[in-house]
Structure 1
Amino acid sequence: MENTLFPIFLKTDTFRFLIVGGGKIGLEKAETLLRQNPLAAIRIIAREISNDLWELLREYPHIEWEERAFADGDLAAADFLIIATDNTGLNREIKERANEKGILVNAADQPDLCDFYLGSIVNKGHLKIAISTNGKSPVLARRLREHFQEAIPENIHDSIENLNAFRARHKGDIQTKLASLNQATALLVSRDNSKKEGKQYKELTFEIAVVFLAVFFGYGLSSVISVHDLNGYIREIPPAFYGMVLVGFFAQLVDGAVGLGYGVTCATSMMLFGIKLPAISGSIHTAEMFSSGISGFSHYKFGNVNKKLLLWLAIPGVVGAVSGALLLIYLGNKYETVTYAILASYTMIIGIRLIIIAFRKKIVRKKVKHTGLLGFSGGLFDAFGGGGWGPIVTSTLLAKGRKSSYVVGTVSLAEFFVTLAASITFFASLGVSHWYIVIGLIVGGSIAAPLAARLAGKLPQKTAILAVAFLVIVFSIRMLFKIF
């Protein structure tokens, strides 16, 4: 066998861990242990302790440490040894001394010196999953951990508690208990199957209904409007409508494949077409209102919405959206050139922001401050510039280490209320004179949606975001040159 590892789970309350090395790797190993047990007995010996590790030691004062070279006597108070130095010869020497005393050793990035591995660990309440690639690819193990961390629901802890209570109430031998548990959990599978069958039935019913309604209304419409009249109506469609179809197609393609950029892509493209400024933002928000409503409701249904965060984003966001729309209407009518310059500069800043997002490294979870101000700013700039809610609000929350599913779900639902408020403001002031722009964006986006769904995940996220940022910055610079 190539993989002879035997996975076990240690009760870390009774074991003592010695870490030799105070650099980045030593910090990572200490954090790994503390994530499983914040009170784990850890001792660190290192010639030099890094600044980041000093911060950890201040946060966990129970950790013992000494800033000096390793000595044989350090092994006397250790059950497990983790070597985190970059000196291979020293690592091998320390391992030999530890093994002579019966102490198991883990040496970072040196599988041949390891008696055990610290795998990637998924934590969900009582559920704990350890993943190992036999020391061959820690990156793959980390990616699998991230996948399972997202895929397994947070309430799995409650399910385990319920099953434990169910198990405790059943008397008898182990076979009887297992039979009862198997029977109870089998219902979950049968329900899933029935839900799938029900979903397939609903989809078939919906498709038949759509076909029937299309035939019914098509036949009824043909008896009222002749082909000649229809051709006349088509000729009356403004040429800009077809340009908006292309803009909607391209923007939806970008947004569906990358996950953001719909508004800012539409805004920069429509400015080049010479569309009036208030019509740009009003059209984008009207077209986007439908997609954000459907997306937000879906996230709410699947439990991806933090209600408290939703209120702190949506209410200030609505106020900001109304303020931004009124500001654009006023500036757009009286100071068109200045407003074009402001919007082009704004979209260029968003493009730069996207570049920062693309190169952002994974960071530690931090407290989000001034959430209401974040929602107001996002709504204000989104309504004024025709886009930017996602790049501003979503990126800020993700940068604070918030879970992506809850961030995307909550921000998507809040976006519906923001776009609704902006759309009502624009309609109340401008009417529906720009209907062809709205319909063009919706038609183009609808055509691109299936293709965008297929592209989603095909292009690396970093590459895709950089591509969007490049286009937005180029369009913005071109617009600024056109103005000046």
Structure 2
Amino acid sequence: MDNTLFPIFLKTDTHRFLIVGGGNIGLEKTETLLRQNPKVAIRLIAKEISRELKVVLKEHPHIEWEERTLEDADFSEIDFLIAATDDSDFNRQIKEKANQKGILVNAADQPDLCDFYLGSIVNKGHLKIAISTNGKSPVLARRLREYLEASIPENIHESIENLNRFRNQHQGDLKTKLEALNEVTEMLGKKELNKKEGKKYKRLAFDISMIFMAVFIGYGLSSLISVQELQTYMSDVPTIFYAMIGVGFLAQMVDGAIGLGYGVTSTTSMMLFGIKLPAISGSVHIAEMFSSGISGFSHYKFGNVNKKLLFWLAIPGSIGAIIGSLLLIYVGDKYETIAYAVLATYTMIIGIRLIVIAFRKKIEKKKIKHTGVLGFAGGFFDAFGGGGWGPIVTSTLLSKGRKSRYVVGTVSMAEFFITLSASITFFIYLGVTHWYIVAGLIIGGTIAAPIAARLAGKLPQRAAVLAVAILVIISSLRILYSLL
């Protein structure tokens, strides 16, 4: 048998842990234990403790810690030891001493020194799933954890509570209870199957309707305009229209696959084509208004919107978007070179912020201050720079420890009002002279949408965000170089 591990779940409120090591490994192991029980009994000893780890230790004053060398007396009154140093020989010495006293040891990245493993853990209320690859591939275990966390619904806690109440209230022996519980869950399974079958038939009816509509409209247009006339009209379409189809495709692929970057990707790409700055931001916001409206409504329907937060983001954000649009219209006409330099610098900063987002660690929940200012700044820079609402507002709220479900839902809903305000402003001052840019973005995005949706969740999030960040930074640097 290749895997002889026996999974168990420890009650962390009755066991004591000693962590030896104060670097990144010590920080990771400390946070892992605290995620399971913020009050877990931990003693940490290291010659040198990093600044980041000291911050965590000060936030949990019940943890005992000392900055010194390990002593024999430290092995007393502990149940488990975690060797978190970079010195393999020292970790081996620690294990030998601990095992002599009957203490089980875990050594980071040294499976041969481990009496037990700290696997990847999925936490969803009462539900807890531990994943192990027998110490062979921690990366795979982490990927499985991310997949399960995304797949298991947040309300699983309520489902477990309801089933527990049903079990406790049901009279009879264990066999009778199990039979009744099976009947209940079987009915739920049939309902889910019926829903899936219903969706399948609805999708078939929708597809047939769309095909009929396309044939009907195509036949009607053929009676109004000949093929030769259509070719004449097509020849009058600016070449940039076809380039914008490619830009819209790329931007939607990025945004659909990783959840942000539509505006920044579109803006940097369009600047490379030399399009006028007001037309860039105006086109991006008009094209994005449709997708943000649908996305925002969907989040609102599924209860992902915090109404109070929406108010403080949408209204100041809309005001900021109007002011940003007006400033871009004025600056873009009179100081085009300077505006290009400012926007290229701005998109480069957004690219750098994306890199920070990619490497961001889980942060404790903190109070959000000046939400209205955040909304105004996000709306202003989004309109003036043609994008950045998500990287600015979403990343700031997530950095304060807010739940991603409500952050993404509320920010998406607010984004509709920001894009609407900017679009109306650009429309009033610019009209529809850049219709071919908007049409190209919409068509390209429509083509990419189903492909991007299929890729969503399959690409490594950090790698995807880094790729977008590097693309944006390189494009911005190229624009700045061309202005020299």
User: TM-score band (shorter)?
Assistant: 0.7 to 0.9
1:463-484 CA distance string (max 9 Å, x none): 5545544544454445445556
Q: 1:458, CA displacement in angstroms?
A: 6.8
Distance 1:192 1:64 in 2: 50
Q: Aligned pair in 2 of structure 1 residues 100, 465: CA closer, same or farther (>3 Å)?
A: closer
Deviations 1:287-319 (A, max 9, x none): 111122223333444454444433332222211
Tell me the residue number matched to 2:217.
217
Residues 264-305 of structure 1, C-alpha deviation per residue, up to 9 Å, x if partnerless? 333233334443332222111111111222233334444544
Give 1:42-441 correspondences, 5 Å limit. Answer: 42-358=42-358, 360-367=359-366, 368-441=368-441
For residues 443-477 of structure 1, the C-alpha deviation after alignment (integer angstroms, 9 at most, x for no partner) is 22223334444555676555554554454445444
Helix, strand or coil for the counterpart of 2:129? Answer: strand
1:61 offset after TM fit, Å? 2.4
Instruction: Name the CA distance, whole Å, in 2 between partners of 1:168 and 1:96.
Output: 47
Between 178-187 and 254-263, report the one with greater CA deviation.
Answer: 254-263
**CA positional deviation for 1:84:** 3.2
The one-character-per-residue Cα deviations of 1:20-40 (angstroms, maximum 9, x if unpaired) are 444443343333222222222
Runs of 4+ more than 6 Å apart: none
CA distance 1:470–1:286, change in 2 (3 Å)? same
Report what 2:442 is aligned to.
442
Q: Which deviates more, 234-243 or 408-417?
A: 234-243
Structure 2 counterpart of 1:421, one-letter code: S
Q: Provide the rounded CA distance (Å) in 2 between the counterparts of 1:253 and 1:467.
A: 13
Of residues 131-140 and 43-52 in structure 1, the stretch that sits farther from structure 2 once superposed is 43-52
Judged with a 3 Å threshold, the aligned counterparts in structure 2 of structure 1 residues 14 and 363 are, in CA distance, closer, same or farther, namely closer
- The verdict on how the C-alpha distance between 1:451 and 1:107 changes in structure 2, with shifts beyond 3 A counting, is closer
Q: Could you say if the C-alpha distance between residues 446 and 18 of structure 1 is closer, same or farther in structure 2, counting changes exceeding 3 Å?
A: closer
Q: Which amino acid counterpart does residue 129 of structure 2 have in structure 1?
A: I
Superposition deviation, residue 232 in structure 1: 4.2
Relative distance call for 1:113 and 1:286 in structure 2 (3 A) is: same
* 1:82 alignment partner, SS class: strand
Structure 1's unaligned 5+ residue stretches are none
Partner of 2:28: 28
Greater displacement, 461-470 / 261-270 = 461-470
Opposite residue 353 of structure 1, the aligned amino acid is: R
Q: Give, as a single letter, the amino acid of the residue that structure 2 aligns with 1:8.
A: I
Distance 1:170 1:22, change over 3 A: same
Corresponding residue pairs, total: 483
Report the Cα offset of residue 175 of structure 1: 0.9
Deviation of residue 90 (structure 1)?
4.7
Judged with a 3 Å threshold, the aligned counterparts in structure 2 of structure 1 residues 366 and 162 are, in CA distance, closer, same or farther, namely: closer
Cα distance, 1:119–1:344 mapped onto 2, change above 3 Å: closer
Structure 1 residue 423 displacement after superposition: 0.9
| Aligned alpha-carbon RMSD (Å) | 3.0
Q: CA deviation at 1:405?
A: 4.6
Deviation of 1:403 (Å): 4.6
Q: Which range moves more in the overlay, 244-253 or 466-475? A: 466-475
CA–CA separation in structure 1 for the residues paired with 2:431 and 2:92: 77
CA distance in 2, matches of 1:480, 1:90: 52
Contact 1:363 1:400 in 2 (8 A): no
TM-score (norm: length of structure 1): 0.88
Runs (5+) with no aligned partner, structure 2:
none
Shift of the 278–177 alpha-carbon distance from structure 1 to 2, 3 Å rule, reads same
1:279/1:434 contact within 8 Å kept: yes
**Shift in Å, 1:441:** 1.8
Q: Following the alignment from structure 2 to structure 1, what is the Cα–Cα distance between the partners of residues 10 and 399?
A: 33
What amino acid is the match of 1:79? D
Task: Give the percent of matched residue pairs that are identical in Structure 1 and Structure 2.
Answer: 73
Matches within 5 A, 1:459-470: 461=461, 464-470=464-470
